[in-house]
Amino acid sequence: MKLWSDSFRDGGLISVDNAFAAIDPLTHVRLSDNRSPHLAWDEVPNGTQSLALFCIDGDAPQEAGDVNRADRRLALETRRGEFFHWSLLDLPPKPCALAEGRFSSQVTARGKADATVALILPDDGTYTLRQGLNDYTAWFAADAAMAGDYYGYDGPCPPWNDDRIHHYIFRLYALDVARLELGVRFSGRQALAALYGHILDETQLVGAYSLNPELAFTLKK
C-alpha cells in the first residue's frame, strides 16, 4: 500500500493547523486549529476486507510530574511511550482520500462525542466508521474544564519543556476482516491489539512537531 498526505510530507514538519496546540510567546502554548490532516492511499492488497488508521506519538513522556514546568526540562533520556491521537476503523477496502478537517476542526473542550462518523464515497454509498477514544481522555481526566471522552482525532500537543522532538506515526493497516470485535467504547490500544492476526499489509507516514521554541526553530530551518 501507499499512504500520503497533502498536509505534510513524510519525515517533515506537521503543520500547526493540524496540531492541538501552538507556541505562544507569552503563555508558552495556545490552542490551535486541530484539523485532521489530509490522508490518501492506494494499492490496497487483494483480500482486504477493511482498513484501520491510527495516529500515535511514540515519544510521549510516561511520567507527568515534570511536564510543562518552567523549572524543569524533559531530557532526551526521559522514559517514553505511546500516546494515541486517533484510531479510525471500518474504512472501505479501496483507494480513498480523507479531506483535511473532515474528522476534526478546532479543539472541542470535553472531547468530540462522535464515536461513529459517516464517510460518503461518490458512486459507492455511505460507510459508517468507528472512532476510538484517544489518550486526551485520560490526560484531561482531572481537569474540570476539559475532562470528557475524546473520540476521534486530536492533534499534537507535546510538552513545551521537552528536549525531544516528537514524531507522530500515521499508520494504515489492511485487514482480512470487515469489522473488529470491539465494544462501543474502546481505546486506541484496544483497537491496535484487536487487529493483530488480521493484518495483510501496512504502511505509514511520520511527521514531527514540537512546542519547545528552540526545537521548533530547528525544525523550520
User: What is the CA 19 to chain-centroid distance, rounded?
Assistant: 10
- pLDDT tier for residue 216 given thresholds of 50, 70 and 90: confident
Whether the model clears a pTM of 0.85, i.e. scores above it, the answer is yes
pLDDT tens, residue by residue, 103-115? 999 999 999 998 9
- pLDDT tier for residue 217 given thresholds of 50, 70 and 90: low
Task: Report the distance separating Cα 58 and Cα 80, nearest Å.
Answer: 7
pLDDT tens, residue by residue, 127-175? 999 999 999 999 999 999 999 999 999 999 999 999 999 999 999 999 9
| DSSP annotation of 74 | B
- Count CB atoms within 10 A of the CB of residue 65: 7
Q: Is the pLDDT of residue 221 over 70?
A: no
Lowest mean pLDDT of 2-6, 54-58, 96-100, 122-126, name the range.
Answer: 122-126
For residue 176, the model assigns a pLDDT of 98
Q: Three-class SS of residue 88?
A: strand
Pick the more confident residue, 219 or 72: 72
Task: Report the distance separating Cα 60 and Cα 63, nearest Å.
Answer: 9
- pLDDT tier for residue 55 given thresholds of 50, 70 and 90: very high
Q: Is the pLDDT of residue 218 over 70?
A: no
How far, in Å, are 115, 128, 137, 150 from residue 143 at the CA level? 22, 32, 10, 13
Lowest mean pLDDT of 61-70, 82-91, 210-219, name the range.
Answer: 210-219
For residue 219, the model assigns a pLDDT of 66
pLDDT tens, residue by residue, 166-210? 999 999 999 999 999 999 899 999 999 999 999 999 999 999 999
Q: Is the pLDDT of residue 77 over 70?
A: yes
Q: What is the pLDDT of the chain when averaged over all its residues?
A: 95
**Cβ contacts of residue 199 below 8 Å, gap of 6+?**
173, 174, 175, 176
pLDDT tens, residue by residue, 19-52? 999 999 999 999 999 999 999 999 999 999 999 9
How far, in Å, are 20, 29, 129, 200 from residue 25 at the CA level? 17, 8, 39, 46
Q: Is the pLDDT of residue 122 over 90?
A: no
Nearest partner of 210 among 59, 107, 97, judged by Cα: 59
Residue with cell 484539523: 35
Nearest partner of 167 among 65, 98, 85, judged by Cα: 85
Task: Report the distance separating Cα 221 and Cα 179, nearest Å.
Answer: 44
Over residues 87-98, mean pLDDT: 97
